[in-house]
Structure 1
Amino acid sequence: MKDFIYFIKGNFRKLSFGWALTFLSSFGQTYLISLYVTSISSEFAVTEGNFGAIYAICTVLASFIMLTVGHTVDHVSVKKVTAFTVICLAFSCILMGISYHIAFVFISLVGLRLTGQGMLSHISMTILSKFYDKNRGKALSFSSLGFSSGEIVLPLLLAFVIAWFDWRWAMIGSGILLLLYLIRLYFTDLDHFNKQLSIGRPSSSGLVRDFGKIISDRRFLILMPTSFAISFTVTAVIFYQYVFVAQKGWSPQLYAAFFTGYAITRLIFSLAGGLWVDKFTAKKMFRFYLIPISLGLLAYALIPSIFGALIFLLLMGITVGMSGTIKSSILAEVYGIEKLGAIRSLFTMFMVISTALGPLIVGWMIDGGLSIETIMLSLFAFLVLCLLNAQRIKAVASISESDNLTNT
């Protein structure tokens, strides 16, 4: 831990930039958008189920657009690509706030999901993975604290604004806050990150070939399901968490207090995950980090009291806390860093798709009359299969031991 503190002190300016991007990505994350679901559904006379379907379509569309823009972090100035992303996210928030037709809501949601959840997280994790080698885990874990910080601060702040003013003002205010960040960005020196940039923009045919090589390689079939499963499960449970609370007859206030425990646990294990990745490598951590959330789902299914949900939230915090560092680090270990932006954009696309499918499929299960216990056990079985598949990573050589697929 002492080494971690010294590392943060010596690299604080670089690391704080990564933290800021993950924090600002919150404006496109499901947990924050969910605050507006009831208000938007009522305002535009659509059912919450129909809004969920619109949300899923927008998320999937954003994931495909991600493939066409994710590679920019490999060859465009970090400051330029960040500024453009923040501007687009800000205008997506403002457009949502002034929308008076569902079509504008649709466009806004695509922008929020693409630039918030997609690009800002992608930029942060990619540039730090490229810049740091020996201390990659520590760098990514510090950056991941932005996610936890957003979960702790922003829901409370925006819930207050929505209660005292209006959901539209909360959205417009979010956009203004993002635009104000551009002032800070203007005075931030990011030239050190540009040293890792590739020369020239890849052609469309070149990107297609790279993506084809990645998807057809067995490493993809080992790495992708685990990333997909975490996002699928976490998004689905969080999206319907208060539906489950209502069906169980639990106290919403007590559950909200327990959710704070999840955010704190995630923060702690974001730091711990970085230390463990640097000590043991991401490949070793990758084999085990699904275990806590899997056991949490089992507790949620088998313990009838609200404390089953508490156990799940704490164990989910452990896995989610470590996941950002492990998933980003292992891509650099397995594929190398030359085309890491393009590679991460492909994995991010599948991750974003999973966040759309999770609420959709679990919503169908709820509408089909399946019990909460059955839903949780189904998710548990899914994660166990992914955990078993992850064990195959033992046979995969790191990039220092094998040819780089992206350079063949």
Structure 2
Amino acid sequence: MIPRPIRPIRLDMSEFFPLSWSTRVRRWLSRSVLYHYPPRRRRVGAYVLWRVHDTLRPQPMTYLAFLRANLRFIGFGFLLTLLSSYGQTFYVALYGTEIRAEFGLGHGTFGAVYSTVSIVAAVALIWLGKLIDRVDLRRYTLATLGALTGAMVALSFAHTLWLFALALFVIRLCGQGMTIHIMGTSMARYFPHDRGKALSLSGLGLAAGETVLPITTVALIAMIGWRDVWLATGLVTAAVLLLLVPLALKGFEDRHRGYLARQSQASTTVGARHDWTRLEVLRDPRYLGAMALLLAYPYVATGLLFHQAFIAEVRGWPIELLATGLIVMAVMKVLTSLVIGPMIDRGGAVRLIPVSAIPFIACFIVLGASGHPMMPHVLLGALGVGIGMLQPIISAMFAELYGVRNLGGIRAMSVAAMVLAAAAAPATFGVAFDLGVSIAEVSAACVAYMAAAALLTVWVLRRRNPMTG
């Protein structure tokens, strides 16, 4: 009996190398292996075809080659994360003494105002963040940085508490929220093959701000006063908006046309990835399981950093050790971010989600188990590794799991939830310490939850995509 031919496995590889190569290799493999009837040979042929596809597709570039090819757009992402420093907690806290004295606020009242505007900004980001999926990136960036500039100028002239709170709300929304959101969404959307490196390099802008701005801002406040410093930062942001952003986005039309072509090709390809909506994502067990772990990271990191002075006092650590430990954290964050980028490009971000729990768990194990004088460097270094892994992974994993068409809305919803988790940390950690719960017990609870959430994440991510079965 002559075995009848079977239909060959068809795999669209035209996105990765020219169609002539795709057709030639597929036909050769189909005639030599895949037309034969025995199942074993079909399996061997499918494996060979997969290996050829994996070998001939473009391999991720090195950092240097990638920068040479995409310097303008990576510079755009770097500028956005650098400007986001103006809305981060570490920067606003530099003005704490002067602001409390100006408006007659106590520590608790100022903290309540700051927490309230941060929570409202996180809720607003859920709606404003999804607009990036429909609005031109240049207009979206213009509106965001324009609002940030106006809020800084308004804050410098604010003489009433309500105007101060309104300006601070816009700074938190556009600084901490929107600029990081624009960077994460655009880098993940426009770099399908080098997404990890794009996110890692662009994220270095925040590390630069954390390194340079505290020293310069403290010196400027002493020289010209806090109001003039906010006015100067607004003028700097306006200069970046008018001069550097248009230069960095030169040639964006070609990049966007390439993105639209990929989306059009994917929509006509059989078996192409489905672009999820936010409602579909909320019903996906993989998303809920991953968020159970991802929400823990900003919560425990914020709780640790906010109460670092109390922890140092209980452990008997000099405050100078914490200062040098923060330097170690910043260095480890940068190094880890640069290492994790190529790992995302080679193996994907999804499989790294459970692994990202390891440095956070190690941090709190060290915090709860030892009071050795060198432990601040160890635990803050581990925290830096965790934060360095987290920043590139978040945007990349949503693009891998749910596509990039609605990435802005999905990412905004998730980041807002993480901001809310971080906002709850200072109060809950503080209540626990006030009730007499020891640092070791708080650390053990954090370790137990993150370990359980990591195991849950491993289990849910092994589930099949419900959209494809």
TM-score of the superposed pair, with normalisation by structure 1: 0.89
**293, 308, 323: which is aligned to 1:226?**
293
8 Å CA contact 2:363–2:378 kept in 1: the answer is yes
Report the CA distance between 1:239 and its aligned residue: 2.5
8 Å CA contact 1:127–1:193 kept in 2: the answer is no
CA distance in 2, matches of 1:76, 1:25: 21
CA distance in 2, matches of 1:371, 1:175: 44
Q: Computing the radius of gyration over CA atoms, which structure comes out larger, 1 or 2?
A: 2
CA distance in 1, matches of 2:427, 2:254: 42
Confirm whether residue 150 of structure 1 aligns to residue 205 of structure 2: no
CA distance in 1, matches of 2:449, 2:109: 26
Report the CA distance between 1:397 and its aligned residue: 4.5
**253, 257, 279: which is aligned to 1:191?**
253
8 Å CA contact 1:334–1:397 kept in 2: the answer is no
Letter in 2 for 1:113: R
TM-score of the superposed pair, with normalisation by structure 2: 0.78
Report the CA distance between 1:4 and its aligned residue: 2.4
Report the CA distance between 1:317 and its aligned residue: 0.8
**124, 133, 148: which is aligned to 1:89?**
148
Instruction: Identify the residue that residue 31 of structure 1 maps to in structure 2.
Output: 90
**424, 428, 444: which is aligned to 1:377?**
444
Larger mean CA deviation between 311-320 and 44-53 belongs to 44-53
Letter in 2 for 1:77: D
8 Å CA contact 1:71–1:345 kept in 2: the answer is yes
Instruction: Identify the residue that residue 254 of structure 1 maps to in structure 2.
Output: 321
Q: Can you list the C-alpha shifts for 1:276-329, whole angstroms capped at 9, x where unaligned?
A: 111221111112111112111111222213422211110111111111111111
Instruction: Identify the residue that residue 133 of structure 1 maps to in structure 2.
Output: 192
Q: Which has the larger helix fraction?
A: 1
Q: CA RMSD in A?
A: 2.4
Structure 2 unaligned runs (5+)? 1-59, 265-275
Higher relative contact order (CA 8 A, sep 6+): 1
Confirm whether residue 277 of structure 1 aligns to residue 277 of structure 2: no
> For residues 41-190 of structure 1, what are the structure 2 equivalents within 5 Å?
41-182=100-241, 183-188=243-248, 189=250, 190=252
8 Å CA contact 1:91–1:175 kept in 2: the answer is yes
Identity of matched residues, %: 27
Letter in 2 for 1:178: T
Report the CA distance between 1:108 and its aligned residue: 2.2
Q: Secondary structure at the match of 2:374?
A: helix
8 Å CA contact 1:26–1:32 kept in 2: the answer is yes
Structure 1 unaligned runs (5+)? 200-208
Instruction: Identify the residue that residue 330 of structure 2 maps to in structure 1.
Output: 263
CA distance in 2, matches of 1:404, 1:61: 37
8 Å CA contact 2:364–2:446 kept in 1: the answer is yes
Q: Can you list the C-alpha shifts for 1:176-210, whole angstroms capped at 9, x where unaligned?
A: 211111121233313245434799xxxxxxxxx94
Report the CA distance between 1:364 and its aligned residue: 2.5
Letter in 1 for 2:211: I
Q: 1:232 to 1:92 in 2, by over 3 A?
A: farther
CA distance in 2, matches of 1:300, 1:60: 29
Any runs of at least 4 consecutive aligned residues in structure 1 with deviations exceeding 6 A, and if so which? none
